[in-house]
Amino acid sequence: MANHARLFSASGSKTWLSCAAAATAQLEYDNNSNVHADLGTLVHKVGDLCLASKDSRDAEHYIGKDLKKYFPDGLLVSTVFPADMAPPIQSYIDYCRALQTRDSVMMVENRVSYRPWIAKEARGKKNEEGFGTADCLIVSDNILHCIDYKNGSGVHVDVKNNTQAMLYALGVYNELSFLYDFDKITMHIVQPRKQNICEWTISVKALLRFGKAVTKRSRQAVSKNPKFTPTPEGCQWCRKGMAGDCDALIAHTLAITSALFDDMTNPDKRTLLDNKKLILSTIAAVEKNVIATLEAGDEFDGYKLVEGRTTRKWTEDAADYLQENYDPDEIYLTKIIGVTLGDKLLSKEEMSQHTFKAQGSPVLAPESDRRKSIQTDVTDEFSDVTS
């Protein structure tokens, strides 16, 4: 799991490479961890331990074991490895091992420095900027594999032009190019819980061109008046924007929405759709900010806090009362188990015979989406029409 730098972390690079001002603007906002991040840290550690083990142990070896000795700071909510996380991290372990050859060298949890591509004036008083930790590296004379494990099951992480992976690749090039003569780097994202495993190869020349862009952006970030540049990708995880406190983002969102609703053209509609996530996330962030203002006892013109809608719930003694006064058939419902539980009970052959995947309803997706386009045939609607 990566150790993140302060201003120019690889994990947050999509933000500060998109918006120069974001690097310093985020400092006043806490970067708090959460249960999902803690779980990811724990699962990463199991992957590291398995890949580094001399006996090629698998993830199931650690199920139910407390790994707190690897986290002496005590910041994780739980350090016991859960059974349901063994299959996804095992997919990553198997993937890394499959890439190994007799002539290659595997390095796990390897600290790398992309500091040479952070502008000198942006490296910090103690040169603390421009470091990270690559999950797994497999190196041979002509190619380098840089594999990054993602434990998330929500957002699909693509590897092509992935700035975090490219910064780690720069760091690996910086550390190992004097030992190995590789001319290309293949980056891999392994995200089993999203059924996402992808790879992308970039030449060293192209990677170094990216490095020049990193230097330019980091220099802009620490300049006197860095520019705010709102974009859907850059603002997605920006702490200032997520706090509903970014004037540039709010102004950008208002400009998009206010100018579009009179005689909208197709290009106007596309602009709106392209910025859908940005617009919705901005509204959500502003709402959260206003709620916090009102909860603190301050006023906000035009809005107030009210009690949300609720539904009725049984009291604690309801179950006893119902069991004493009514027949079981009247108070209990029986239904078939779900497909997920079925996977644990039935064999794969039985599941393939007795399950099917329904066709999904049409949804809009950008042209870059990997799914095939649905071919609609409007003639079907008129098949019963005769002349």
Split at pLDDT 50, 70, 90, the class of 186 is: very high
From the list 247, 228, 237, the residue with the least C-alpha distance to 286 is 247
| CB-based contacts of 90, cutoff 8 Å, min separation 6 | 58, 59, 60
pLDDT average, residue stretch 195-220: 95
User: Which of the two residues, 337 and 85, has the higher pLDDT score?
Assistant: 85
- Shared domain check, 202 and 80: yes
Split at pLDDT 50, 70, 90, the class of 176 is: confident
| Distance from C-alpha of 219 to C-alpha of 192, rounded to nearest angstrom | 37
**Cα 194 vs. chain centroid, distance in angstroms?**
10
Name the domain boundary from 221, 241, 274. Answer: 221
- Shared domain check, 202 and 107: yes
The answer to whether the CB of 150 falls within 8 A of the CB of 111 is no
- Per-residue model confidence (pLDDT) at position 293: 85
User: How high is the mean pLDDT of the chain?
Assistant: 86
Q: What is the pLDDT of residues 61-83, one digit of tens each?
A: 999 999 999 998 887 888 999 99
Q: What is the pLDDT of residues 346-356, one digit of tens each?
A: 898 998 999 98
Split at pLDDT 50, 70, 90, the class of 5 is: very low
Name the domain boundary from 268, 295, 322. Answer: 295
- Shared domain check, 245 and 199: no
- Shared domain check, 152 and 114: yes
Share of the chain above pLDDT 70, in %: 92
Domain count, the chain: 2
Tell me the residue range of the domain where 48 lies: 13-221
- Shared domain check, 252 and 124: no
- Shared domain check, 250 and 188: no
Q: Is the pLDDT of residue 378 over 60?
A: no
Lowest mean pLDDT segment, chosen from 9-23, 117-131, 224-238, 307-321: 117-131
- Per-residue model confidence (pLDDT) at position 163: 94
Q: Is the pLDDT of residue 124 over 80?
A: no
pLDDT average, residue stretch 359-366: 76
> Which pairing describes strands 131-139 and 143-149: parallel, antiparallel, or unpaired?
antiparallel
Split at pLDDT 50, 70, 90, the class of 175 is: confident
Domain contains 306:
no
CATH code of 85's domain: 3.90.320
- Shared domain check, 262 and 210: no
Beta bridge partners of 139: 105, 144
Query: To which residue do tokens 């206010």 refer?
Result: 258
The answer to whether the CB of 346 falls within 8 A of the CB of 338 is no
Q: What is the pLDDT of residues 37-62, one digit of tens each?
A: 889 999 999 999 999 998 999 999 99
Domain contains 45:
yes
Using only C-alpha atoms, the chain has a radius of gyration, in whole angstroms, of: 26
User: Which of the two residues, 39 and 30, has the higher pLDDT score?
Assistant: 39
Split at pLDDT 50, 70, 90, the class of 387 is: very low
Name the domain boundary from 221, 248, 271. Answer: 221
| Distance from C-alpha of 231 to C-alpha of 376, rounded to nearest angstrom | 32
User: Which of the two residues, 35 and 88, has the higher pLDDT score?
Assistant: 88
Q: What is the pLDDT of residues 281-311, one digit of tens each?
A: 888 888 888 888 888 888 888 888 887 777 8
Domain contains 214:
yes
pLDDT average, residue stretch 102-109: 90
Query: To which residue do tokens 């797994």 refer?
Result: 136
Share of the chain above pLDDT 90, in %: 41
pTM of the predicted structure, to 2 decimals: 0.71
Domain contains 322:
no
The answer to whether the CB of 211 falls within 8 A of the CB of 232 is no
Domain contains 383:
no
